[in-house]
Amino acid sequence: METLEPILAAHPFFTGMSPELLKLLVGCASNVKYDAGDFISREGQDASEFFIIRQGKVALELFSPTHGPITVETLEDGEVMGWSWLLPPYRSHFDARAVVLTRAIRFDGKCLRGKLEEDHHLGYEMLKRFVKIIVERLSATRLQLLDIYGTRV
Amino acid sequence: MEPVFDSKAAPKEAVLTPMAPEIFRVEKYRKETHDTYTLELRPASGTAEHQFRAGQFNMLYKFGVGEAAISISGNPSLANPLIHTIRAVGAVTKAISKLKAGDTIGVRGPFGSCWPVQEAIGNDVLIIAGGIGLAPLRPVIYQVLAERRKYGKVFLLYGTRTPDDLLYRGELEKWRARFDMEVLATVDRASSDWHGNVGVVTTLLKKLVLDPDNTVAMVCGPEIMMRFVAMDLIKKDFGLDRIYVSMERNMKCGIGLCGHCQYGPTFICKDGPVYAYDRVIGLLARREI
Ligand SMILES: Cc1cc2nc3c(=O)[nH]c(=O)nc-3n(C[C@H](O)[C@H](O)[C@H](O)COP(=O)(O)OP(=O)(O)OC[C@H]3O[C@@H](n4cnc5c(N)ncnc54)[C@H](O)[C@@H]3O)c2cc1C
Ligand code: FES
């Protein structure tokens, strides 16, 4: 059976992480597949997981009663999805829907939190990586909020 | 640092009487989006040729209303028709948007510096546009594709507010279908029937494998977008002299006389609008210059 360890080791998110730490993470990881249109998570629901998208495209959507689902971001091959698993109340802020057939590695949040609490070095390594992604997304969101193409800014 | 390429090599001789507009007639009017339209113009005299280089602009004069600087969005290898893509935002551009085929308009130009298309031969070309910023870059795409074998990889990254704001949809589709060009579009927001990318244009950069030492980036869009794009390119080890931006400031004379477009030590109408990033980096985020 294909082990997930080499896949994780090759992924940019885990660059620089020691094989020992990766081994700890693999225990919380599994391969998943979603067909186009499948919801991976729903707003407000339990979000005790995060994903590394191997192939495909996922839309993060918010539902507006007047406009229906509005896509605010899409994520593709190699990108990381979900950080609500890190902090209570561990609930999703968006609907996540597979736009096309999507294959991903799913990490069980509860399992991960247990390991990160036990091994603070692993916790720090993971947090460093998530903070980088959160900062990048925050910066992109700020730009999006400015509505730069709308008026002269 | 001296720029790798000199984008100032504009054909100045093309402007014969820089303050007197020449009369053109609207040959075709095409609505691109809800607020943007493309005009095809021919000289009313039927004779004049209008040579230009990619990145240059004209001053379009709506009689009785005023003038606006508008980039030329057509093919530089075709002297006629003269093509402009215009977003109706204020007095002049809204008045021009009401023109119909057969109506006349005054044209002065072409003015300003150009994109380093010739100088980029032998390099990869990375074109990054936001909103109406694709209009000044379309001539670059025509020129590069006309001599495709002279360039390395060609990338076009394009961002707009919504899918309905994408310019030149038919051409975007054709360019995307080519095997020798990578085209990625993204929008700031969309409904769920849009299957493309959602996110700001900078997020597209992550999807490319770039060779910063052998790539020339040409960026046009709102100033904030250009700053963010430039920052990300610098993070990817692009030299400042390999990033080109097109600056837009309000213009009056278009020929370096009135000082209206002064931008620090330079006049955008004469020294710009296209600049190597190292020439404007210190000026970009300044409130008043
Ligand atoms: C080199 C160059 C190339 C250009 N190319 C194109 C092009 O290809 N297509 C195109 O559509 N436009 C282009 N523009 C932009 C165009 O010239 C301006 O939008 C121009 O101001 C339009 O004139 P207007 O009278 O219609 O609108 P204006 O009355 O000038 O108003 C335009 C918009 O900008 C706002 N505005 C005006 N002045 C200011 C100010 N001082 N501070 C903040 N906001 C202000 C107004 O509220 C309005 O929303 C170009 C500009 C330059 C300098
Ligand atoms: S517009 Fe008059 S100096 Fe540039």
Tell me the pLDDT tens digit for each residue of B55-78. 999 999 998 999 999 999 999 998
Q: What are the pLDDT digits (tens) for A60-104?
A: 998 887 778 889 899 999 999 998 888 888 888 889 999 999 999
Q: What are the pLDDT digits (tens) for B233-252?
A: 999 999 999 999 998 877 88
| pLDDT above 60: residue B212 | yes
Does B5 lie at the interface with A, CB-CB under 8 angstroms? no
What is the secondary structure of B184-247 as a DSSP string? EEEES-EETT--SEES-THHHHTT----GGGEEEEEES-HHHHHHHHHHHHHTT--GGGEEEE-
In a domain, B156, yes or no: yes
In a domain, B185, yes or no: yes
In a domain, B86, yes or no: yes
CA B252 to ligand 1 centroid distance, Å: 12
pLDDT reported for residue A50: 92
Give the position, in ligand 1's atom list, of the atom nearest the Cα of B94. Answer: 26
Give A45's pLDDT tier (boundaries 50, 70, 90). confident
Q: Average of pLDDT values for B244-264?
A: 85
Lowest model confidence (mean pLDDT) among B33-47, B55-69, B255-269: B255-269
pLDDT reported for residue B48: 66
In a domain, B214, yes or no: yes
ipTM comes to 0.79
In a domain, B169, yes or no: yes
Does A62 lie at the interface with B, CB-CB under 8 angstroms? no
Chain A hits for B33, Cβ within 8 Å: none
CA dihedral B84, B89, B95, B100 (to 10 degrees): 50
Q: Please give the structure tokens belonging to residue A104.
A: 């991903």
- Give the mean pLDDT of chain A: 89
- Contact indicator for A53, A75 with CB cutoff of 8 Å: yes
- Contact indicator for A57, A96 with CB cutoff of 8 Å: no
B223-235 and A120-145 helices, crossing angle to 10°: 150
Does B200 lie at the interface with A, CB-CB under 8 angstroms? yes
Ligand 1 atom 29 nearest Cα: B90
- Give the mean pLDDT of chain B: 89
Give the position, in ligand 2's atom list, of the atom nearest the Cα of B270. Answer: 4
Is residue B19 within 6 Å of ligand 2 at its C-beta?
Answer: no
- Contact indicator for B26, B105 with CB cutoff of 8 Å: yes
CATH of the domain at B211: 3.40.50.80
| pLDDT above 60: residue B288 | no
Ligand nearest to the CA of B59: 1
In a domain, B243, yes or no: no
| pLDDT above 60: residue B13 | no
Q: What is the count of structural domains for chain B?
A: 1
Helix (H) or strand (E) holding B158: strand B154-160
pLDDT reported for residue B70: 96
pLDDT reported for residue B251: 83
Give B10's pLDDT tier (boundaries 50, 70, 90). very low
Single-letter residue type at B102: G
pLDDT reported for residue A26: 93
List residues bridging with B130 in a β-sheet: B159
Q: Average of pLDDT values for B120-149?
A: 97
Q: Spell out the residues 6+ positions from residue B107 whose beta carbon is closer than 8 angstroms to its own.
A: B21, B22, B23, B24, B41, B50, B58, B59, B60, B61, B82
- Percent of chain A's residues with pLDDT above 90: 59
- For residues B140 and B129, what is the distance between their CA atoms, to the nearest angstrom? 12
pLDDT reported for residue B128: 98
- Percent of chain B's residues with pLDDT above 90: 70
The CA distances from residue B261 to B57, B109, B213, B222, B268, in Å, are 14, 16, 33, 17, 6
| pLDDT above 90: residue A128 | yes
Single-letter residue type at A106: R
Nearest CA distance, A93 vs chain B (angstrom): 17
CA B197 to ligand 1 centroid distance, Å: 28
Q: Average of pLDDT values for B20-28?
A: 91
pTM of the shown model: 0.87
Q: Please give the structure tokens belonging to residue B284.
A: 């970009």
Q: What are the pLDDT digits (tens) for A19-40?
A: 999 999 999 999 999 999 999 9
Does B190 lie at the interface with A, CB-CB under 8 angstroms? yes
Give B15's pLDDT tier (boundaries 50, 70, 90). low
Ligand nearest to the CA of B272: 1
Does A65 lie at the interface with B, CB-CB under 8 angstroms? no
Task: Write out B76-94 in H/E/C secondary structure.
Answer: CCCCCCEEEEEECCCHHHH
CB atoms within 10 A of CB B182: 16
Per the listing, tokens 């014969």 go with B16
Ligand 1 atom 27 nearest Cα: B90
Q: How many helices (H) and strands (E) does chain B have?
A: 7, 16
Is residue B261 within 6 Å of ligand 2 at its C-beta?
Answer: yes
Nearest CA distance, A111 vs chain B (angstrom): 30
| pLDDT above 90: residue A144 | no
Among A69, A99, A149, beta carbon nearest to B222: A149
Does A73 lie at the interface with B, CB-CB under 8 angstroms? yes
Nearest CA distance, A70 vs chain B (angstrom): 5
- For residues B83 and B26, what is the distance between their CA atoms, to the nearest angstrom? 10
Nearest to B242 by CA among B233, B229, B252: B233
| pLDDT above 80: residue B101 | yes
Domain A5-149 in CATH 3.40.50.720? The answer is no
Range of the domain at B95: 11-238+281-285
In a domain, B128, yes or no: yes
Does B30 lie at the interface with A, CB-CB under 8 angstroms? no
In a domain, B250, yes or no: no
CB atoms within 10 A of CB B268: 27
pLDDT reported for residue B287: 55
Q: What are the pLDDT digits (tens) for B84-99?
A: 999 999 999 999 999 9
Q: Average of pLDDT values for A96-117?
A: 94
CA B84 to ligand 2 centroid distance, Å: 20
CA dihedral B69, B73, B76, B80 (to 10 degrees): -90
Is residue B90 within 6 Å of ligand 1 at its C-beta?
Answer: yes
CA B38 to ligand 2 centroid distance, Å: 25
Give B258's pLDDT tier (boundaries 50, 70, 90). confident
Most A CBs within 10 Å, among B32, B203, B249, to test the A interface: B203
